[in-house]
Amino acid sequence: MFYAARMLRAVVFDVGETLIRDDRGWAAWADWLDVPRHTLSALAGAVVAQGRDNAEALRLVRPDIDIAAERAAMEAAGAGERLDEADLYPDVRPALAALREGGLRVVIAGNQTARVGQLLRELDLPADEIATSGEWAMAKPDPRFFARVLDLTGAAPDETVYVGDHPANDIRPAKAAGLRVAHLRRGPWGHLWSGTEEAAAADWQIDSLHDLVRLAAG
């Protein structure tokens, strides 16, 4: 592990339940669709456990929903996507800053809207690059997404570690692209898949971004 750690040149972070809590977003959707927040949260967990995209939870509530149109309506009504410091996990700023101080390139790239990309930049995080699937018009697990990730890192795949919580969107496609992977046991998906064969495919299992700092330090 020491040899692998000292060869890292870049660290790339997923967004939802890696850097930010998803509570606010799911709560906004539940309020907009007029269902109890716990109901929508439980449905999201259920569809992901079945290997389906978490957006399917919205379709269970409203089968004919046009998610993009509804999101635009929410934004127009002042109920759209919002992020502030309280949405960040406590280890995010210190860990990202420590990685950059250690000479690694820090990139944030996840399946999020262009609006979330803008909000993340406004938080002035210690990152070299921030990008979202909405800005790229391609989403994980599309191999092109990880090709774009590597463009941002400027490093070889085996010099780059992708940090995320979901096997289907993070571990499997990142490994297929040649990147190293750290599975983060955080949030519902991270906990759900922890200890499974799918999660074991990652190079490292971590419980905090501080673990990643120690790993990169050797």
| pLDDT tens per residue across span 84-141 | 999 999 999 999 999 999 999 999 999 999 999 999 999 999 999 999 999 999 999 9
Report the pLDDT value the prediction gives residue 51, as an integer from 0 to 100.
77
Q: Which residues contact 169 (CB under 8 A, 6 or more apart)?
A: 14, 111, 140, 141
Separation of alpha carbons 175 and 162, rounded Å: 9
**Which of the pair, 214 or 173, is modelled with greater confidence?**
173
Residue pointed to by tokens 């406004």: 122
pLDDT class of 63 with cuts at 50, 70, 90: very high
Transcribe the chain into DSSP letters.
Answer: -HHHHHT--EEEE--BTTTB-SHHHHHHHHHHHTS-HHHHHHHHHHHHHTT--TTHHHHHH-TT--HHHHHHHHHHTT-S----GGGB-TTHHHHHHHHHHTT-EEEEEES--HHHHHHHHHTT-S-SEEEEHHHHT--TT-HHHHHHHHHHH-S-GGGEEEEES-IIIIIHHHHHTT-EEEEE--HHHHHHHTTSHHHHTSSEEESSHHHHHHHHH-
Residues 138 and 64 in one domain: no
Q: What is the mean pLDDT of residues 33-56?
A: 90
Counting the structural domains of the chain, the total is 2
Residues 13 and 28 in one domain: no
Instruction: Show which of 31, 57, 76 is a domain's final residue.
Output: 76
Separation of alpha carbons 211 and 209, rounded Å: 5
Residues 12 and 42 in one domain: no
Separation of alpha carbons 141 and 186, rounded Å: 20
Residues 10 and 116 in one domain: yes
146-205 residue pLDDT tens: 999 999 999 999 999 999 998 889 999 999 999 999 999 998 888 888 888 888 999 999
Residues 16 and 32 in one domain: no
Compute the chain's Rg from CA coordinates: 17
Report the pLDDT value the prediction gives residue 195, as an integer from 0 to 100.
86
Residue 8 has pLDDT above 60, yes or no: yes
Residue 62 has pLDDT above 50, yes or no: yes
Report the pLDDT value the prediction gives residue 4, as an integer from 0 to 100.
46
Residue 2 has pLDDT above 70, yes or no: no
**Which of the pair, 195 or 39, is modelled with greater confidence?**
39
Residue 33 has pLDDT above 80, yes or no: yes
Judge contact between 188 and 47, C-beta under 8 A.
no
Cis peptide before 126 (omega within 30 of 0): no
Specify the pTM: 0.92
Instruction: Show which of 76, 97, 114 is a domain's final residue.
Output: 76
* Residues spanned by the domain of 68: 23-76
Residue 5 has pLDDT above 80, yes or no: no
Residues 203 and 185 in one domain: yes
Q: Which residues contact 55 (CB under 8 A, 6 or more apart)?
A: 67
Angle between helices 209-217 and 92-101 (to 10 degrees): 10
